């Protein structure tokens, strides 16, 4: 089996090299989508000497296949729905609302655990790099971009090590810049392109957030 990256840390370091042109940008901030995007964000923020924070989003998974996104939800209440996927699965509005309610509860649990009483980062007028470990459907990245746009950043750069071609093309229309290192076809799943791709725990997120960034 061919792998592009040994693990998320190596992927983050490789991505950081591609993003080196942004080093020294005034008011730069790196926002990672936890859990999987945080190891990527740590490496990017460290290399660019930029502040790191998280932006909380939750995938809205299909009832019979939780990993298949029918949409996503951001911590400020912004929601993205993939209407094509919803129609293909024949999901009712009641079903969608039930899924949203469940994920909203999980999102708030993570907010309390990861951030405590701290407020989300201020992004108005700033250059924001949003990172994740990959783009399959891109639902969580899309809702993050949509939510951040409401806060009027100067520029949004979406950055990932690997992504599906179609998803990357869609995302290009939503951001100021997209940096995606690899776009394999067929794509199938993000984890296939990493040799080591464990699920991260809440404890992993908290540990990474406490690490020195320089």
Dist CA 59 CA 86 (whole Å): 14
In a domain? residue 128: yes
Question: Is 213 a residue whose pLDDT tops 70?
Answer: no
Based on the fold, state whether residues 48 and 131 are members of the same structural domain.
yes
Q: How many CB atoms lie under 10 A from the CB of residue 1? A: 5
Per-residue pLDDT of 17-74, as tens digits, reads: 999 999 999 999 999 999 999 999 999 999 999 999 999 999 898 888 887 888 889 9
CA 107, CA 44: separation in Å to the nearest integer? 24
Q: How many domains does the chain have?
A: 2
Contact 48, 23 (CB under 8 A): yes
Secondary structure class of 119 (helix, strand, coil): coil
- Residue-wise pLDDT for 75-98, tens only, equals 888 898 988 889 988 999 999 999
- DSSP run (H or E) holding 158: strand 155-162
Residues 106-141 pLDDT 10s: 999 999 999 888 888 899 999 999 999 999 989 899
pLDDT, one tens digit per residue, over 170-195 is 999 999 999 999 999 999 899 999 99
Q: Please classify residue 66 by burial: count the beta carbons closer than 10 Å to its beta carbon, then call 0-12 exposed, 13-18 middle and 19+ buried.
A: exposed
- In this structure, the answer to whether residues 53 and 130 fall within a common structural domain is yes
d(CA 161, CA 13): 10
CATH number assigned to the domain comprising residue 42: 3.40.50.2020
- CATH number of the domain bearing residue 74: 3.30.1310
Q: Is the same domain home to 64 and 92?
A: yes
CA gap 181, 167 in Å, rounded: 14
152: left (phi over 0), alpha (psi -120 to 50) or beta: left
- Work out the pLDDT band at 214, boundaries 50, 70, 90: low
């Amino acid at each position: 089996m061919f792998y592009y990256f040994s693990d998320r840390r190596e992927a983050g370091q490789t991505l950081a090299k591609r993003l080196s042109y942004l080093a020294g940008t005034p008011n730069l901030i790196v926002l990672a989508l936890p859990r999987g995007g945080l190891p990527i964000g740590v490496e990017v923020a460290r290399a660019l000497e930029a502040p790191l924070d998280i932006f909380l989003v939750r995938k809205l998974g299909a009832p019979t296949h939780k990993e298949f996104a029918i949409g996503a939800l951001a911590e400020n209440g912004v929601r993205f729905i993939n209407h094509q996927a919803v129609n293909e699965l024949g999901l009712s509005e009641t079903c969608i609302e039930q899924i949203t309610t469940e994920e909203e509860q999980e999102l708030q649990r993570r907010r309390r655990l990861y951030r405590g009483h701290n407020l989300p980062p201020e992004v108005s007028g700033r250059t924001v790099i949003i990172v994740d470990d990959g783009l399959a459907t891109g639902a969580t990245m899309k809702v993050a971009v949509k939510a951040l746009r409401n806060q009027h950043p100067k520029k949004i750069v979406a950055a990932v090590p690997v992504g599906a071609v179609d998803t990357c093309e869609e995302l290009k229309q939503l951001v100021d810049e997209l940096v995606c290192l690899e776009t394999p076809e067929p794509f199938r799943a993000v984890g296939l392109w990493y040799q080591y791709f464990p699920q991260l725990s809440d404890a992993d997120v908290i540990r990474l957030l406490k690490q020195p960034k320089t």
